Structure 1
Amino acid sequence: MMTRAGRHALVLAAGAGRRFGGNKLTALWRGEPLVLAALRTALAARVERVTVVTGARAPALESVLSTIDDPRLQRVVARDWHEGLAASLRAGVASLPSDAQGAVIFLGDMPLIPEGLADQLLDAVAGGAPAARVRSPKGPAHPVAFAAAAFPDLVALEGERGARSVIDALGDAVAPIDSDAAGVRFDVDLPSDLDTATVDKPT
């Protein structure tokens, strides 16, 4: 089996879910808390560790995470989560061990990311790309992955600036991984999304 050493996954789950009305990541998606869908996909990847970044709803999420028995699962709390998405990224990347070679970043409200994409992204990073992203014919997609050389740029982010700004700055050096799966663009934003019959939401 190919090694997991140095390969990591982050699941960002620190936000308050205000548009949703709160408690988004513990709301039921297909019979279980929403965050578990992203977490299971991350755990299916060939990674050494999966770190879930919590914040606004940390106690509630901890209760959910305690149901998962996998020694690779770690938690970190972004205590400055209210500053925006960048706070989650900073906390997650800062928690990685010094020998981390690359990390793939999942969003906790994206439950339908296909398994296998994370490994392709991390393979591209291991092959020398500073970052790798999913490229969808319908627009921006997730997840994304970064080599360790890009970590300082991620921990320097502020406010609502997410990983996409670092991807954009790297330009053509970013390795694209093509996917036409609708799940690479679908996120749960409102309660109605939990019951949607299709994941092809308008942009």
Structure 2
Amino acid sequence: MRDIAILIPAAGSSSRMRGKDKLLETVCGVPLLRHMAEAAIATGAHVAVTLPDYDHPRATALAGLPVQLVGVPDSKEGMSASLRRGVGMLPRNMSAVLILPADMPEIETDDLLHLIAGFKSVPHPLLQQATTEDGVPGHPVLFPRDCFQAMAQLTGDMGAREVLRANRHRLRLVTLPGNRALTDLDTPEAWAQWRGDCDAPMKMPAE
């Protein structure tokens, strides 16, 4: 498994949180970023996390974890800066990188393993993209090594959509439970609703 990398882009400004840092919000008793990193580490893959800089409070949230930290001084350029630097700093022996957004708390270790197993189960390198139970494409997305060069040339704040679009002919969709492939929390309202849903009492079936 050590030939697979999981890259968690966490160098964004969290601007939609109106002064709060979404990646430091608490999930399961720890900051969200640490929660996501722990889920990735449990796969046995190499885990890298991009940060605005190495002394950012998000680095403190990752203290003690066996993750590769990658500073992104040009993070204001958008998601492409995280992907360029993150992929560029991965160990040379990586056969694929799985991009795991840092603000998707419902993604579990088993989901990541499901995507990785799909990649390893076929003789030719296919991209793997998570979908909801209804088939709506989302995240995470796994890119084979031959996509790395294109990812190193990304610009703007569109992430790796262009790389994904250029490789549609070899894209395998992987269904995850519920809507977890789309559940991302980047506003106070999204956090409040998600926490409300989590705290809601379970409805018992009618007798």
Report if TM-score (shorter chain) is over 0.5. Answer: yes
TM-score (norm 2): 0.84
Matched, 1:129 2:128: no
Q: Which residue is 2:151 aligned to?
A: 154
Which segment drifts farther, 105-114 or 37-46? Answer: 37-46
Residue 92 of structure 1 and its aligned partner are, at CA, apart by 0.8
Residue 174 (structure 1) aligned with residue 171 (structure 2): yes
Moved more, 162-171 or 190-199: 190-199
**C-alpha distance in 2 between matches for 1:12 and 1:102:** 16
- Distance of aligned partners of 1:130 and 1:150 in 2 relative to their CA distance in 1, 3 Å threshold: farther
CA-CA distance at 1:83 after TM superposition: 0.3
Structure 1 segment 102-141 matched on structure 2, within 5 A: 102-126=96-120, 127=122, 128-136=124-132, 137=134, 139-141=136-138
Match of 2:204 in 1: none
Cα distance in 2, alignment partners of residues 171 and 93 from structure 1: 21
Residues 111-153 of structure 1: CA deviation (Å, up to 9, x unaligned): 1113222222223333323311112226231101011111111
Contiguous gaps of at least 5 residues in structure 2: 199-207
Is there any run of 5+ residues in structure 1 with no aligned partner, and where? none
Matched residues in 2 for 1:16 and 1:58: separation? 15
Structure-to-structure mapping, 1:33-112, within 5 angstroms: 33-47=31-45, 49-55=46-52, 59-66=56-63, 68-69=64-65, 71=66, 73-112=67-106
One-letter identity of the residue aligned with 1:167 = L
1:27-59, Cα deviation, whole Å (9 max, x unpaired): 223432121222122112131x10111117951
Question: What is aligned with 2:203?
Answer: none
Q: d(CA) in 2 for partners of 1:37 and 1:194?
A: 15
**Partner of 1:5 in structure 2?**
2
Q: Which structure is larger by alpha-carbon Rg, 1 or 2?
A: 2
Aligned length: 192
Question: How much has 1:193 moved relative to structure 2?
Answer: 2.5
State the secondary structure of the residue aligned to 2:15: coil
TM-score computed with the length of structure 1 as normaliser: 0.86
Whole-angstrom CA distance in 2 between matches of 1:25 and 1:45: 21
Partner secondary structure for residue 109 of structure 2 = coil
Post-superposition offset of 1:99: 1.1
Matched AA of 2:130: V
* Aligned 8 A contact 1:14 1:57 in 2: no
Superposed structure 1 runs of 4+ greater than 4 Å apart: none
Superposition deviation, residue 164 in structure 1 = 2.6
Aligned residues: percent identity?
27
